[in-house]
Amino acid sequence: MKIAVVGTGYVGLTTALLFAELGHDVLAIDVDEDKVEKINKGICPIYEPGAEELLKKHAGKNLRATREYEIEDADVIFICVGTPSREDGSMETKYLENAARKIGKRLKNGQIVAVKSTVVPGTTEEFVIPILEEESSLKQGEFGVAMNPEFLREGLAIHDTFHPDRIVIGERDKRSGDVLESLYRPLNAPILRTQIKVAEMIKYTSNAFLAVKISFANEIANICERIGVDVYEVMKGVGMDHRISPHFLNAGAGFGGSCFPKDVKALISLAKRVGYEPRLLEDVLKINDYMPRHVVELAEKHYGPLKDAKVSVLGLAFKPNTDDIRETRAVIIVEELLKRGARVIGYDPKAMENFRKLIPHIEYADSAENAVRSADIVIIQADWEEFKKLDFDSFPSLKLVVDGRRTVSPKKVKYVAIGRGD
Ligand code: NAD
């Protein structure tokens, strides 16, 4: 089949690589010239394990990138543009609108548009379809529409895309659902076909539930600290209950990234718009906002005043194995440290360049060892594997390790972590 993918970020590029690997002809469309050039040269514009190998295999063969909406031949056009938060927490629709208008202008009878971006329930039917109809002068039905949410985890995007837990297809016309189902069938994953609005809500509910689990673990961690019990021991026992599962029960510096914070905010905004006060979701964000501040509180409690202390923050990406710094807890940690007059040194294996653009006025180390060597305190914000290999006991000036992710276990140097009662 001929597939067009609009937006080549974490989701769009991975989707393009999936369909190229499955043998389809893929056209990847992005407004970003730099990304388009890189993709065509087989250079991955994002850090995502396994992506560059696949890109090298398919770029210039059955995968081509362009800035032009050359969608005339496409059987299915996937919309994968960003849907970030607006200032008030609601979903920003400008990228979606722009993509839908450009697709609509060239849309032909029989083509299928599948929305893969995470969009607030109602968006595909009340926002995207009207734009497509207006721009194309066709009626929905003449062109097909589906909503196909994406559940991949950054850092594991390729794995998750090729081995999904489920494929959700929201459809209005059966033909669109059938075509999408046939595209995904080689993955042998369970396929759930449903209404478009349900598919949209499944995505928000999944992310909100995972965010609730993390903030719940952090709530329990904060109680555990006060009664001298280790939350990780507690959650080990709790997670053995198959109704709960051990996943997403890790207390720590909180969740970041391009999805959980913005999707919970968008769901809150939707709930309020339809007349419901979503108290649980509001508290999930409040707890999440507190946790990185608590990391700094722990540093202060165990080191003393942080003025002029040299503090290295290890892990600037929102989590390991990605260069994505969107909503990373490292920003809050660094800002709290700077407020207290600390000298901050940042290090991340892949996200340093992105983080530096956001916060240029701290020092950056060229390796984890060098970051630790000059520090009085180390704060671990993202649990990259390479941090586990460091021998923290071998750095004479290091006085304290504050572990925001339960990554390491030094023997001699003072070690504190969230949810242990340190
Ligand atoms: P991203 O910001 O990494 O990529 C978006 C891309 O779209 C960018 O390359 C941008 O240049 C491009 N773009 C913007 N407007 C465009 C237009 N009009 N035409 C063509 N290209 C355009 O975003 P992402 O992380 O890939 O997320 C995309 C969507 O998928 C979002 O709705 C997000 O919530 C959802 N999602 C993301 C993840 C994730 O882990 N990143 C997981 C599941 C779902």
**For 314-373, how does the pLDDT look when each residue is reduced to its tens digit (9 = 90+)?**
999 999 999 999 999 999 999 999 999 999 999 999 999 999 999 999 999 999 999 999
Q: Find the Cα–Cα–Cα–Cα dihedral 166, 170, 174, 180, rounded to 10°.
A: -50
User: What was the pLDDT predicted at 313?
Assistant: 98
- No. of helices (H) and no. of strands (E), the chain: 16, 14
Could you give the CA distance from residue 223 to residue 248 in angstroms, rounded to a whole number?
Answer: 18
Residues 297 and 307 in one domain: yes
* Ligand 1 center from residue 95 Cα (angstroms): 9
Q: Are residues 373 and 224 in the same domain?
A: yes
The reply to whether ligand 1 has any atom less than 6 angstroms from the CB of 408 is no
Q: Examine the pLDDT at 422 and tell me if it is beyond 90.
A: no
- Is the separation of the CB atoms in 132 and 140 below 8 Å? yes
The torsion defined by the Cα of 276, 83, 10 and 403, in degrees rounded to 10, comes to -50
Backbone angles phi, psi at 406, to 5 degrees: 55, 55
- Say yes or no: 122 and 56 in one domain: yes
Residue 95 CA to chain centroid, in angstroms? 18
Same domain (yes/no): 174, 209: no
Catalytic, out of 44, 80, 224, 259? 259
222 sits in which H/E element: helix 196-227
Please write the tens of the pLDDT for every residue from 214-227.
Answer: 999 999 999 999 99
Backbone φ, ψ for residue 378 (5° rounding): -115, 130
pTM here? 0.95
Find residue 79's DSSP bridge partners: 6, 115
- Pocket flag, ligand 1, residue 31 (CB < 6 Å): yes
178 and 243 together in one domain: no
Q: Which helix (H) or strand (E) holds 213?
A: helix 196-227
> Which of 193, 216, 235 marks a domain boundary?
193
Our answer on whether the CB atom of 407 is closer than 6 Å to any ligand 1 atom is no
Q: Are strands 363-364 and 377-380 parallel, antiparallel or unpaired?
A: unpaired
Query: What mean pLDDT value characterizes the chain?
Result: 97
My answer on whether 367 and 277 are in the same domain is yes
Residues 6+ apart with CB under 8 A from 394: none
| 258 Cα to the center of ligand 1, angstroms | 9
Do residues 368 and 392 both lie within one domain? yes
Predicted pLDDT at 392 = 97
Cα gap 375→399, rounded to integer Å: 8
Ligand 1: which atom is nearest the Cα of residue 258? 41
Query: Does residue 421 register a pLDDT over 90?
Result: no
Residues 238 and 258 in one domain: yes
Q: Is 361 exposed, middle or buried (CB count within 10 Å of its CB: 0-12, 13-18, 19+)? A: exposed
Residue 284: the pLDDT is 98
Q: Rounded to an integer, what distance in angstroms lies between the CA atom of residue 129 and that of residue 123?
A: 9
Could you tell me the pLDDT band of residue 36, with boundaries at 50, 70 and 90?
Answer: very high
CATH of the domain at 123: 3.40.50.720
Ligand 1 centroid to residue 84 C-alpha, Å: 9
Residues 164 and 222 in one domain: no
CB-ligand 1 contact for 168 (6 Å cutoff):
no
Look up 259 and say whether it is catalytic: yes
| 79 touches ligand 1 (CB under 6 Å) | no
From atom 41 of ligand 1, which residue's Cα is the shortest distance away? Answer: 10
Same domain, 109 and 239: no
User: Into how many domains does the chain fold?
Assistant: 2
Q: Give the mean pLDDT of 373-383.
A: 97
DSSP state string for 214-280: HHHHHHHHHHHHHHT--HHHHHHHHHTSTTT-STT---SS---SSSHHHHHHHHHHHHHHTT---HH
Q: Which of 193, 212, 231 is the last residue of a domain?
A: 193
Q: Are 179 and 112 in contact (CB under 8 A)?
A: yes
Shared-domain flag, residues 52 and 173: yes
Give the residue numbers spanning the domain of 109.
2-193
Rounded to the nearest whole angstrom, what is the distance from the C-alpha of residue 96 to the centroid of ligand 1? 10
Distance from residue 388's CA to the centre of ligand 1 (Å): 32
Domain's final residue, options 193, 218, 248: 193
Question: Same structural domain for residues 393 and 343?
Answer: yes
Tens digits of per-residue pLDDT, 275-327?
A: 999 999 999 999 999 999 999 999 999 999 999 999 999 999 999 999 999 99
Distance separating alpha carbons of residues 175 and 16, to the nearest angstrom: 22
Residue 154 Cβ contacting ligand 1 at under 6 Å: yes
Both structure tokens of 362: 């701290």
